[in-house]
A = this chain, B = another copy of it.
Amino acid sequence: MVDSLVRLRDALREFAAARDWDQFHTPRNLATALSVEAAELLEPFQWLTDAEADRLPPETRAAVEQEMADVLLYLVRLADRMGVDLEQAALAKIELNAAKYPADKVRGSARKYDRQ
């Protein structure tokens, strides 16, 4: 079984190579595209209450899934372009967060989110 992030990385490499698009996939371009897609993912939620967000109409939900896919694809491509191991970076960040927010100190509190 090929790992999902590896499979996506390879599929995107092939996709870009077949179109000669590597030239456009600079880190800055990819980071910009990722940021735009992240905002498109946020867009359908912006005026919704939490309750409304939990029962999205089917077509909105399908659009949200596509935006999530776009974010992941640009992120995987950027990581490949920069030689970053996404899984390792994410696992390392979880460890950092665990040290920063000890479970017994922050349980149930949104306070830890406030960086100020």
A-side residues, CB < 8 A to B, are 1, 3-8, 11-12, 15, 18-21, 23-24, 26-29, 31-48, 50, 53-54, 57, 59-61, 63-66, 68-73, 75-76, 78-79, 82, 84, 86-87, 89-94, 96-98, 101, 103, 106-108, 110, 113-116
Interface contact A19-B64, CB-CB below 8 Å: no
Copies of this protein in the complex: 4
Interface contact B8-A98, CB-CB below 8 Å: no
Which residues does chain B contribute within 8 Å of A75, judged by CB atoms?
Answer: 68, 71-72, 75
Interface contact B54-A27, CB-CB below 8 Å: yes
Which residues does chain B contribute within 8 Å of A27, judged by CB atoms?
Answer: 45, 50, 53-54
Known pairs A7-B87, A28-B46, A34-B71 / 11 extra A-B pairs, C-beta < 8 Å:
A3-B3, A4-B6, A11-B91, A24-B113, A35-B39, A44-B115, A46-B113, A47-B114, A48-B114, A57-B116, A68-B84
